[in-house]
Chains A and B, each alone.
Chain A
Amino acid sequence: MATTTVPAQRPPQSSPGYGGGSLPFGAKLRAPGFYRAAWMMVLAVAFAFFITWIVRMSTGHSTFKHFIDGEAILTVSLLAVPLTFLVGIGGFDYWFYWAAGRKTRPEDHSSHGAYTWKDYFRINTDHKVIGIQYTVSSFFFLLVGGLIAMLMRAELAAPGAQFVDANTYNGLFSVHASLLIFLFVIPVFAGLGNFVIPLMIGAPDMAFPRLNALSFWLLPVAGVMMLLSFFAPGGAFADGWTAYAPLSTNAPIGQTFFSVAVQFAGASSIMTALNFLVTIITMRGPGMSFFRMPLLVWANFATSLLVVIATPFIAASQFFVLLDRALGFNFFNAAKGGDVLMYQHVFWFYSHPAVYIMMLPGFGIISEVIAVKSRKPIFGYRMMAFSLLAIVGLGFTVWAHHMFTSGMAAWIRIPMAITTAIIAVPTGIKIFSWLATLWRGVLHLDTPMLFALGFLTTFTLGGISGVMLAMIPFDIHVSATYFIVAHIHYVLFGGSLMTIFAGVYYWFPKMTGRMYDERLGKWHFWSTFVFFNLTFGPMHLLGLQGMPRRVEDYASKFSSLNLFISIASFALGLSTLIFLYNMVTSWRGGPKAVKNPWRGMTLEWQVSSPPPVFNFDKLPTVVGGPYEYGVPGAVHGTFAPTPTPAAAGASAARQVAGPNE
């Protein structure tokens, strides 16, 4: 596999703990890496064994007869093992040394850049490496989640039982949604943002590179935990990604895998969002005022605000479930004074903003692609930025529209319906502004642009069905039906995933230094677009006609539509293979990319493909807006010849937390 940084001289570095280096075995066990992680994880299981024994003994269980409780050990292990894994691979080394008052290793940049594929499998503080780690591992989980969807569609191809029983089926859709939300859409945007944002704003890295590395490694932990739940006694968590109590608080141990995995995925989100906020606020290059920032940066700024405010709520909701389930706290046990509806309020207070967390970065990608590929400035740049902020504010005022039929106090529905209708206005502004940007442009209809245009149509449909769902009497009929399944896939697949594909194709040359195959890209777009609509379009009708979601069996009158949907979904799954083939072969042997294949103005296109290890060999100074296409002689940034020592010092002082020379 090609590397992603300019194959410069590899700095002296050792990663003995990951299998590299030639140290004695004892030193390898002590160095950060997988060896150390392995024995520490064993230690964590022993700790779980011991602590549950002590606690059970002290609470009256027999010391020697019933001292092993599998569930208790598993629950504690789920928390302890991932933490020791992260310690083992070195995620906390620097801070531990610092906290203990020991000599910290000065930042020697040895963990910047990737020179072999192995460098992607260790703690790496380079935002470009982390961006690729994020993106590739998210796509791994997309494929797993997609395969799970294929299994579900195979089961649903005909009424009655086909391949799986009800419990397995419930596990399949729960894991499908959880993986694609927490391990694909949210992190893949964080990955693309990680790669692109520092480049776009003229920074050498993110503000907190070590935190950045840690935030990535939390993800595989969460994803592996969700997948491992299939092997738990009683099967995978099977209460949907919504995990409504009290079903979840009485579920088999698989539920705990979800409760804990969400903590790791959520912590990762929060860390990255904080990192983005600090990076965007403090590390913009000279001249990069807020209103000269590319809209992708604005979009991630808005998203990060949502993440840091909202994500603690889902963490809380799942801690409630964990405590209820493992320790009998009775938060949601109505018979003991618990409040069942409270779970839903806390859950949706995150999970509605999460919808925008999963969409706003995509809006940013679309703005980049449409401006560059239409060769025109974004129409109404400031309104585009303000509408993002409007969505951030309004996004926190609509959560109970997921609860119109929940049995909550009836009056709450009224204000929530109004805000839900109103939140469509800033989204509409964005759609119309993109259309106006296209108008009279010079449209380059290549793969990223096709995905952007496809997005405009499918996302509009998803937005429209969303507005319909704001209308309470209509929502009362279709709530929790296949109409909802259709709606969320139109906004998350037709919305988010389309923008992700657009973004991956658009920045592929920058990230890998190679060009992708345009012809395969177009095939991928058309097959995805057609089979997406054939798969999810008919689901609207199923829901209206009365088919509930989350069922492995259904009335025979729905069978022909379901068979049609299943066939279309298999074709949709196959279309992904075109994408995979294109990505893998192009990365390995595609034509070398020039630094600016799209003639983009934003800063990431002004450096080599892939960028130098510290992004900018010459300091960028921003002198104008990011999308001044068609303005004679306009540039976004200029580059000083060679940074004088004084200028380099000044820049290091400005970028306090960045790696300094």
Chain B
Amino acid sequence: MNKQRPMVLTIAAAVLAVAIGIVLSYVIHWFPVQASTQAHNTDRLYHVLVDASIPIFVLVVSVVLYCAWQFRMKPGEELKDGPPIHGNTRLEVFWTAIPAVILLGLVSYSFVVLHDNEKKPAREIQVGVTGQQFAWTFQYPPSVTGGKPVESDQLWLPVNESVRFGLYSKDVIHAFWIPAFRLQEDVVPGITVHYRATPDRLGTYPIVCNLLCGVGHSLMRAQVHVVTEAKFKEFLQSRAAASGASASTTVGAAGGATSSTTGTAAG
């Protein structure tokens, strides 16, 4: 019984560590607020991954600590060797097969999430995103405005409406990342890249260029305003009116950065 005590203690500590780890993983605010349906799916995936990882990590650390505690050389054992165990085929098959099954399970689940995040909805609006050193502009085609196309240096989106971004670059590669949506894709010169998002929470969130694009990279910021349908219509109308006066609004890169640092809803 006494001989078993260190083992019992270690297992108890490991179980406790797993429990604490999993509780902590739900207490810690890992992410900015969730502002898209995709964010809910991705965060759930993250929690599944963390829950699966904690026991594996704790297992490895516990075995290391247990061995260091129980099997460390004691005085007088300087010339002693351990038992000549060369392997155990059953054990080796076990720790090859089990991780493989877990990994394939997790990756399958991630494909389900990916499919959900990217599937074509019944209705969606198209918005163009143009990246250039070091500013974003957003284009609303006639299919959205119902009139002339409209351009803006801030992104406005109606809530609970699926949007399909078309990404264009005028110079080098940028990445169009909205952390609150948990979505990004590179903006590549020469090709048009698309991705979908469904904003589901009113508010203003940072847009970040997330691929090194030159000296102004850290200033290449903008904001997305997720608003009600009525406010969105209002925005389009005001932009349509303004575009008559000054079609090319100066895009203040530094202004974008300042506003992102004060971004309220970014968690």
Chain A positions near chain B (C-beta within 8 angstroms): 159, 165-167, 170, 238-240, 244, 246-247, 250, 334-335, 338-341, 374-377, 379-383, 405-407, 410, 413-414, 417-418, 421-422, 424-425, 428-429, 431-433, 435-436, 438-445, 453, 456-457, 460-461, 464, 467-468, 470-474, 476-477, 479-481, 541, 544-546, 548, 550-557, 599, 628-631, 634
Q: B107 contacts A421, CB within 8 Å?
A: yes
Q: A443 contacts B67, CB within 8 Å?
A: yes
Q: A246 contacts B212, CB within 8 Å?
A: no
Given known A-B contacts A377-B84, A473-B114, A556 and B60 have beta carbons under 8 A apart: no
The complex places the Cα of A453 from the Cα of B65 at a distance, in Å, of 9
Contact of A379 among B30, B86, B171, B184 (CB under 8 A): B86
Given contacts A438-B71, A546-B180, 9 further A-B contacts (CB under 8 A): A247-B173, A377-B84, A380-B87, A380-B92, A383-B87, A418-B104, A421-B106, A422-B100, A548-B208
Determine whether B161 belongs to the interface, using a CB cutoff of 8 Å to chain A. Answer: no
Question: Could you pull out 18 A-B pairs where Cβ atoms are within 8 angstroms?
Answer: A246-B172, A247-B213, A247-B214, A338-B190, A339-B190, A377-B85, A405-B175, A410-B118, A439-B67, A442-B81, A445-B73, A467-B49, A472-B111, A474-B42, A545-B179, A546-B32, A550-B212, A555-B263
Contact of B64 among A341, A417, A438 (CB under 8 A): A438
Q: B266 contacts A557, CB within 8 Å?
A: yes
| A382 contacts across to B, CB distance below 8 A | 87
The complex places the Cα of A546 from the Cα of B68 at a distance, in Å, of 38
Q: Looking at the complex, which of B121-129, B145-153, B215-223, B236-244 is the stretch in contact with chain A?
A: B215-223
| B111 contacts across to A, CB distance below 8 A | 414, 417, 472
The complex places the Cα of A377 from the Cα of B57 at a distance, in Å, of 25
Nearest chain B residue, comparing its CB with the CB of A433: B92
The complex places the Cα of A244 from the Cα of B32 at a distance, in Å, of 29
Q: B218 contacts A552, CB within 8 Å?
A: yes
B 21-50 to A, binary, CB cutoff 8 A, 1 in contact else 0: 000000011111000001001100110010
Contact of A554 among B32, B88, B211, B218 (CB under 8 A): B218
Q: A550 contacts B84, CB within 8 Å?
A: no
Determine whether B8 belongs to the interface, using a CB cutoff of 8 Å to chain A. Answer: no
Q: B188 contacts A340, CB within 8 Å?
A: yes
| A431 contacts across to B, CB distance below 8 A | 60
Given known A-B contacts A376-B81, A380-B92, A457 and B172 have beta carbons under 8 A apart: no
Chain B residues within 8 Å of chain A by Cβ, number: 89
Given known A-B contacts A417-B110, A422-B103, A479-B184, A443 and B261 have beta carbons under 8 A apart: no
Within 8 A of A (CB), among B208-263: 208-219, 257, 260-263
| A440 contacts across to B, CB distance below 8 A | 71, 82-83, 85
Determine whether B267 belongs to the interface, using a CB cutoff of 8 Å to chain A. Answer: yes
Contact of A340 among B61, B73, B191 (CB under 8 A): B191
Q: B82 contacts A442, CB within 8 Å?
A: yes
The complex places the Cα of A472 from the Cα of B103 at a distance, in Å, of 13
Contact of B219 among A376, A453, A481, A553 (CB under 8 A): A553
Q: Would you list the 7 A-B pairs with minimal beta carbon distance, nearest first?
A: A334-B190, A546-B179, A551-B218, A471-B110, A407-B193, A376-B82, A630-B84
Nearest chain B residue, comparing its CB with the CB of A159: B261
| A456 contacts across to B, CB distance below 8 A | 60, 64
Q: A438 contacts B63, CB within 8 Å?
A: yes
Q: A445 contacts B72, CB within 8 Å?
A: yes
| Residue in B57, B79, B85, B180 with the greatest tally of chain A CB atoms within 10 Å | B85
Q: B83 contacts A443, CB within 8 Å?
A: no
Nearest Cβ on chain B to A491's Cβ, whole angstroms: 14
Contact of A544 among B31, B185, B211, B263 (CB under 8 A): B31
Nearest Cβ on chain A to B51's Cβ, whole angstroms: 12
The complex places the Cα of A461 from the Cα of B60 at a distance, in Å, of 10
B 157-184 to A, binary, CB cutoff 8 A, 1 in contact else 0: 0000000000100011101010110111
Q: B45 contacts A464, CB within 8 Å?
A: no
Nearest Cβ on chain A to B78's Cβ, whole angstroms: 9
| A436 contacts across to B, CB distance below 8 A | 85, 88, 91
The complex places the Cα of A456 from the Cα of B64 at a distance, in Å, of 8
Q: B81 contacts A471, CB within 8 Å?
A: no
The complex places the Cα of A444 from the Cα of B78 at a distance, in Å, of 9
Contact of B80 among A159, A438, A442 (CB under 8 A): A442
Nearest Cβ on chain A to B197's Cβ, whole angstroms: 11
| Residue in A335, A432, A440, A470 with the greatest tally of chain B CB atoms within 10 Å | A432
The complex places the Cα of A545 from the Cα of B206 at a distance, in Å, of 12
Contact of B30 among A335, A406, A445, A541 (CB under 8 A): A541
Q: B189 contacts A468, CB within 8 Å?
A: no
Given known A-B contacts A340-B173, A421-B103, A472-B114, A551 and B73 have beta carbons under 8 A apart: no
| B177 contacts across to A, CB distance below 8 A | 548
| A167 contacts across to B, CB distance below 8 A | 215
Given known A-B contacts A405-B175, A425-B100, A480-B175, A443 and B208 have beta carbons under 8 A apart: no
| A444 contacts across to B, CB distance below 8 A | 72-73
| A443 contacts across to B, CB distance below 8 A | 67-68, 71-73
Given known A-B contacts A441-B82, A474-B42, A546-B208, A435 and B185 have beta carbons under 8 A apart: no
Given known A-B contacts A414-B111, A445-B72, A474 and B49 have beta carbons under 8 A apart: yes
Nearest Cβ on chain B to A390's Cβ, whole angstroms: 10
| B46 contacts across to A, CB distance below 8 A | 468, 474, 544
The complex places the Cα of A167 from the Cα of B208 at a distance, in Å, of 19
Q: B185 contacts A405, CB within 8 Å?
A: yes
Q: A381 contacts B87, CB within 8 Å?
A: yes
Q: A445 contacts B219, CB within 8 Å?
A: no
Determine whether B17 belongs to the interface, using a CB cutoff of 8 Å to chain A. Answer: no
| B84 contacts across to A, CB distance below 8 A | 376-377, 628-631, 634
Q: A548 contacts B45, CB within 8 Å?
A: no
| A425 contacts across to B, CB distance below 8 A | 96, 99-100, 103
| A457 contacts across to B, CB distance below 8 A | 60-61, 64
Q: A429 contacts B92, CB within 8 Å?
A: yes
| A629 contacts across to B, CB distance below 8 A | 81-82, 84
Q: A467 contacts B72, CB within 8 Å?
A: no
| A631 contacts across to B, CB distance below 8 A | 84
